[in-house]
Amino acid sequence: MAQDRERIISFVKKYLKDRPQPGPFIPGQTPVPVSGKVVSGLDMQYMIEAVLDGHWTEGRFAEEFEERLASFIRVRYCSIVNSGSSANLLALTALTSFRIPEDRRLKKGDEVITVAAGFPTTINPIIQNGLRPVFVDIEPGTYNASIDSIMEAVSSRTRAVFLAHTLGNPFEAQTLRTLCDELGLWLVEDNCDALGTKHRSVHTGAFGHLSTCSFYPAHHITMGEGGAVLTDDPLLHKIVRSLRDWGRDCSCATGADNACGKRFTQQHGDLPYGYDHKYVYSELGYNMKVTDMQAALGLAQLERLPTFIRRRRENFSFLHMFFRELYDSFILPEWSMHSQPSWFGYPLTIRDTAGFTRGELLKFLEQKKIGTRLLFAGNVTNQPYFKNYDFRWRSVGKAEGNRIVLPNTDIVMDRMFWIGVYPGLNIEMINYVTKSFKEFLASR
Ligand SMILES: Cc1ncc(COP(=O)(O)O)c(C=O)c1O
């Protein structure tokens, strides 16, 4: 049996080795995407092993992945989930749990400070939980909110701050955590685009009371689809697990029974005495678990994470060296001297004096087969769903007549975009990108 298993795995390895490899990079013909999965034989091997295990729901690969990711970021607990969006929903929902002390629990109408320039599912869990998003402006170049603007937005209803490290560039996480603790606010870090980033020598994802990751293929590592919620707090961990696993009260691993030894000997509220603990639900839960095949892929990817981070930083540095010469046309990325970002992409904002529009440039790059992306929703308050549904939100920024505007967020919406730095891009591709920018600017 064990030999058959070895044979299957070595057959798969041979298949991977023998299959046609991608041809050489042909400028103008080979696409230069912004992101994508970077796979190896190990990814396939681990996934096949998970299939052959026959367990399929969360199992040994999930357990090992959770331990390894938690120890990489240096937090105590990690729960893998089926997406970064689910991770964000669980992280914020956990703070509404009946288990959270009354004075810290998030309740309908409470305010959560965030930014409008980002990914919608950082913001949506605030609304989905009946809370009120309060948008502050971001800073040009860092694309993060400053501590001052966050503090300016704090009101008597503020209970939490929920922010992403934009495109891998960390916000002032350490100062913000200290201030949040002083003010009795929760800090939730959306670390989906920043796995491997360090701020003041600490990995992002370790600053928040809760933090999240995404393992969609565009991200630093992939599970196909996947995400994670991390925390140092045993109570928050217990709530996240329960919410993830249908809201169940019992914390036995999937497929395990009676780990506590009290399965049939407890009184749970109004349920009959001894009601099977496996079927006691104390949270308003979901099912956001992953399969062990996904976790196996994640584990293989995690082994290469340090290489992926290094390659992202190298590609970013090559691009930054080039774009420094184009300072007149673009606002270049800025980051704190206390940070080592693990970049998601290379962000650029076209200056209003540049003499060309974003549409013209992106169309040109598309013809050159160079991928570009916007900063996701731009100014999310302008997205159709903000008009299609009636929910309460406010922004804190510059007064314009009787409106509050977020000028830098609007600039992001109108003139910002990013290009790829992911490990699938090699130096030939980066050189082709820079040559194409030169060609575009020469044609103006
Ligand atoms: C900052 C941020 N948060 C959350 C998500 C959602 O992750 P997922 O696609 O895994 O749901 C994304 C997606 O790219 C993201 O960029």
Q: Which residue has the higher pLDDT, 340 or 254?
A: 340
- Kindly give, in sequence order, each residue whose CB lies less than 8 Å from that of residue 53, ignoring residues fewer than 6 positions away: 59, 60, 292
Confidence of residue 169 (pLDDT cuts 50, 70, 90): very high
Residue-level pLDDT at 111: 98
What percent of the chain stands above pLDDT 70? 100
Confidence of residue 255 (pLDDT cuts 50, 70, 90): confident
Confidence of residue 19 (pLDDT cuts 50, 70, 90): confident
Burial class of 324 by CB neighbour count within 10 A (0 to 12, 13 to 18, 19+): exposed
How many angstroms separate the alpha carbon of residue 84 from the centre of ligand 1? 5
Residue-level pLDDT at 402: 82
pLDDT at 257 > cutoff 90: no
What percent of the chain stands above pLDDT 90? 91
Residue-level pLDDT at 69: 98
Residue-level pLDDT at 264: 95
pLDDT at 260 > cutoff 90: no
pTM above 0.95, yes or no: yes
Could you tell me if the CB of 122 is within 6 A of ligand 1?
yes
C-alpha to C-alpha distance for 87 and 208, rounded to whole angstroms: 14
**Whether residue 199 lies in the annotated active site:** no
Query: Domain limits of the chain?
Result: 44-302, 305-442
Give the CA radius of gyration of the chain. 23
Q: Specify the DSSP element, H or E, that contains 26.
A: none
Neighbours of 92 (CB within 10 A): 24
The CATH classification number of 305-442 equals: 3.90.1150.10
Residue-level pLDDT at 252: 84
Residue-level pLDDT at 253: 79
Residue-level pLDDT at 256: 80
Mutate to test the pocket of ligand 1, among 122, 214, 343 (most ligand atoms within 8 A of CB): 214
Q: What is the mean pLDDT of residues 311-330?
A: 98
pLDDT at 254 > cutoff 80: no
Neighbours of 258 (CB within 10 A): 13
CA 428 to chain centre: 29
- To 10 degrees, what angle do helices 60-73 and 41-53 make? 140
Beta strands at 158-164 and 186-190: parallel, antiparallel or unpaired = parallel
Could you tell me if the CB of 227 is within 6 A of ligand 1?
yes
Mutate to test the pocket of ligand 1, among 162, 165, 193, 374 (most ligand atoms within 8 A of CB): 193
pLDDT digits (tens, 9 = 90+) for 194-245: 999 999 999 999 999 999 999 999 999 999 999 999 999 999 999 999 999 9
Please tell me which residue in 199, 203, 209, 219 is annotated as part of the active site: 219
How many angstroms separate the alpha carbon of residue 119 from the centre of ligand 1? 6
Q: What is the mean pLDDT of residues 299-313?
A: 98
Could you tell me if the CB of 83 is within 6 A of ligand 1?
yes
C-alpha to C-alpha distance for 187 and 91, rounded to whole angstroms: 10
The mean predicted confidence, pLDDT, of the chain is 96
CATH fold of 44-302 reads Aspartate Aminotransferase; domain 2 (3.40.640)
Given a contact cutoff of 8 angstroms between Cβ atoms, the answer to whether 372 and 418 are in contact is yes
Mutate to test the pocket of ligand 1, among 90, 119, 197, 418 (most ligand atoms within 8 A of CB): 119
Q: What is the mean pLDDT of residues 414-442?
A: 98
pLDDT digits (tens, 9 = 90+) for 334-373: 999 999 999 999 999 999 999 999 999 999 999 999 999 9
Given a contact cutoff of 8 angstroms between Cβ atoms, the answer to whether 372 and 366 are in contact is yes
